[in-house]
Structure 1
């Protein structure tokens, strides 16, 4: 049955826009807009995470071996001191008097020995008298050395350069052997002790680099390297102790701090792409390669073998080479063999948002 003329005309007018719309949709499907990124070669490693505790490179609690009164304190809390610097002096007046008496006696015996030697040279004294005077002089020297060694116990000196802690004594206080007087820590290099499971023992070696963070400085990253690996495995925890050295030139790190450790094991150069550019399919992984030639931009689906993942990036073991251009944004509409419109290439300086805004 034929439709009236005005109905056939209305139908033709309706089909024309619909045909144009379907053509536009087909064109859009055939040439999706995509943003690309390039595969790069970068240094990669398998992170091994652990928790560690900081120790000073050198640490000691100074005390005395004698009982006496504090006569002098030559440091302030938290001060940096040098090796050999006198920190605390105890009252040593009696010992100093004994030293002066012994020094006077030594001088007297030296003169007697010299006179005996001169007389013996002129055959006016026996050889035995000369030897006796020299023996008494040596005895005086030994007595002085003993007193000087005893006097050293009355002077507390820094055994190495470092930073002192809080002092717990005052001038006039009576101290006894073994009493804690002050702590001294060498802080320019810190030791970081942590444990790792024994299964990773074969991947560790002295010199392996690591990074560490602490809640005290959440935005800071401290670098170091493994110095020593323990020679025993704990039979209960099945872990091995590891000690690393961290530079602490600015003095921010303190003994006893808890740190999160990331050991950079199996360091290598590898191809890396953004994780968002991966299209998984079961246990297989694909990327959409962007092929450009003679003004044409075409998409090609390619299977890749992936390795480790970290921070939105993925390691490519097979399937891509450095500088290969792949789809980073617009992957949902991309199809194998399609022509595509490349909006731009995202990199460290130009992000997806900036490219999309520039394309409006």
Structure 2
């Protein structure tokens, strides 16, 4: 019988990829679909029948409050005002003459009072004419962005003719519905996030501003209104938004969902001892909520504990492990595996050389 002259090769530790238990913001989201509305929105219309004299805006232009947007022809109204002002001057002179005569007892007091009454009457008529003149000038009631210009200079407009829309877009209102069972879990000020198909890589943040006072008896849902900042004016009224209300925001201990080893109703993880050759220790934990790829740990782990995230099926309790890398925001499983293959290739070349 031949004796084996070479010692048996020691079994290499099993390669694993790990992740650290980390404290990070967490919440239990409520999902819904919502529709955007402008913070302030108005359609400016004509209130008189007249032709357009001036248009002082361009499509999509940002304007400030009180800016003159549209001026209608007001020649007749201006003429009526000038005639009334001339009549006021005449009656004021009459009042002054009669007052002087009365001071010398040359005019009855009743004539003076009648003249003053006629003066007050014409002054009231002037105020009415000035108010009517305001109808010929359309000003922006607030800061905002105008819509399309659908009329031209010279167009004859009548009362109710829509001249231009104006929307305040720096803050948007987002209306959505939630089931009535969520009423006890939401309140004004609760944060939320919203996404749109138009900007799939952008998350818009906001908070609940108000909650409807009535529950729809058919759908058993309540309308909620949130506010989203829109400094770049990318959001538009009428857009459909995917909404997630962040219930119970808190800081939670989080690990990758792939680290879990379920057994019935219990959950286990494999913890690596960094001081002892990454030796594996099986540990039972209590978990809370889950979200895509992650799970909240309620008990059994501490922050910075190192757990096996990939390779749990190949290692056993008490065995040492070979750490290929630690997952984080800048690394991925395929990248770590590629780096390990490159290291093996370099080692093989060195041994062969």
TM-score by length of 1: 0.88
The answer for the alignment partner of 2:286 in structure 1 is 305
The answer for the alignment partner of 2:113 in structure 1 is 131
- CA distance in structure 1 between the aligned counterparts of 2:278 and 2:170, rounded to whole angstroms: 57
Larger radius of gyration: 1
Deviates more, 1:345-354 or 1:297-306: 345-354
State the Cα deviation string for residues 246-281 of structure 1 (Å, max 9, x = none). 111111111111111111111111100111111112
The answer for the alignment partner of 1:217 in structure 2 is 199
Alignment partner of 1:171 is 2:153: yes
Structure 2 runs not aligned, ≥5 long = 345-353
Alignment partner of 1:287 is 2:262: no
Query: What does residue range 1-360 of structure 1 map to in structure 2 within 5 Å?
Result: 8-9=1-2, 12=3, 20=8, 24=10, 27-28=11-12, 31-293=13-275, 295-352=276-333, 355-356=336-337, 357=339, 360=344
- CA distance in structure 2 between the aligned counterparts of 1:344 and 1:159, rounded to whole angstroms: 61
Aligned residues: 341
Structure 1 runs not aligned, ≥5 long = 1-7
Residue 350 of structure 1: how far off its partner (Å): 4.7
Residue 352 of structure 1: how far off its partner (Å): 4.6
- CA distance in structure 2 between the aligned counterparts of 1:207 and 1:167, rounded to whole angstroms: 38
Residue 344 of structure 1: how far off its partner (Å): 4.4
SS at match of 1:230: strand
Residue 74 of structure 1: how far off its partner (Å): 1.6
- CA distance in structure 2 between the aligned counterparts of 1:194 and 1:348, rounded to whole angstroms: 32
Residue 105 of structure 1: how far off its partner (Å): 1.0
SS at match of 2:79: helix
The answer for the alignment partner of 1:3 in structure 2 is none
State the Cα deviation string for residues 30-57 of structure 1 (Å, max 9, x = none). x433343221111100111111111111
Question: Residue 344 and residue 255 in structure 1: after superposition, are their counterparts in 2 closer, same or farther (change >3 A)?
Answer: closer
- CA distance in structure 2 between the aligned counterparts of 1:160 and 1:263, rounded to whole angstroms: 31
Question: Residue 346 and residue 72 in structure 1: after superposition, are their counterparts in 2 closer, same or farther (change >3 A)?
Answer: closer
Residue 355 of structure 1: how far off its partner (Å): 4.9
Residue 296 of structure 1: how far off its partner (Å): 5.0
SS at match of 2:285: strand
Residue 304 of structure 1: how far off its partner (Å): 0.9
Residue 243 of structure 1: how far off its partner (Å): 0.9
SS at match of 1:33: strand
- CA distance in structure 2 between the aligned counterparts of 1:151 and 1:354, rounded to whole angstroms: 73
Question: Residue 125 and residue 246 in structure 1: after superposition, are their counterparts in 2 closer, same or farther (change >3 A)?
Answer: same
TM-score by length of 2: 0.90
Residue 283 of structure 1: how far off its partner (Å): 2.1
The answer for the alignment partner of 2:351 in structure 1 is none
Residue 351 of structure 1: how far off its partner (Å): 4.5
- CA distance in structure 1 between the aligned counterparts of 2:247 and 2:335, rounded to whole angstroms: 36
